Amino acid sequence: MPTFTLTIRQRFEAAHYLYAYRGKPEPVHGHTWTVELVLETDHLDDEGMGFDFVAARAALAELVARFDHRCLNEIPPFDSRTPTTEHIAMWFFDAMTAKLEHARVAAVTVWEGPDCSATYRP
């Protein structure tokens, strides 16, 4: 059966630090983060869409807004969990899965700048 993959991206600016990088806290530093949401479907609606990009983008933008121009270490759950790119990807996956009840979230990739990323797929 054919599958359609839809991808939505959002960027935000935020600082973070790792709590025990090589045995000690890392200095606070910032990144231009990109969150890439991948949805999958094997069904198109009557209009020929697998999922409305506008709705998916709005849901992702709402989540991204809570981190934009902030220090991730000060925002739950990262005030008690190291804000690694991997943890951030998993958080966005879970949050988008809860927000988009009628969509199948296949993966979330979080880019920590243009060259490094982590992808979460359960």
Q: pLDDT above 70 covers what percent of the chain?
A: 100
Domain that holds residue 58: 4-120
Q: What is the pLDDT of residues 56-77, one digit of tens each?
A: 999 999 999 999 999 999 999 9
Q: What is the CATH number of the domain that holds 66?
A: 3.30.479.10
Q: What dihedral do alpha carbons 76, 121, 111, 101 form, nearest 10°?
A: -60
Residue 120 has pLDDT above 90, yes or no: yes
Residue 17 pLDDT class (50, 70, 90 cuts): very high
Name the token pair of 11: 């960027």
Mean pLDDT of 80-102: 96
Q: How far apart, in whole angstroms, are the C-alpha atoms of residue 51 and residue 67?
A: 25
Mean pLDDT of 46-51: 93
Among residues 94, 95, 88, which one has the least CA distance to residue 119? 88
Name the token pair of 30: 């910032």
Q: Residues 81, 82, 86, 89: is their CA dihedral positive or negative?
A: positive
Among residues 107, 28, 18, 92, which one has the least CA distance to residue 59? 92
* Count of domains for the chain: 1
- CA separation (Å) from 32 to 26, 52, 62, 98, 115? 18, 26, 17, 25, 11
Residue 25 pLDDT class (50, 70, 90 cuts): confident
Residue 102: CB atoms within 10 A of its CB come to 8
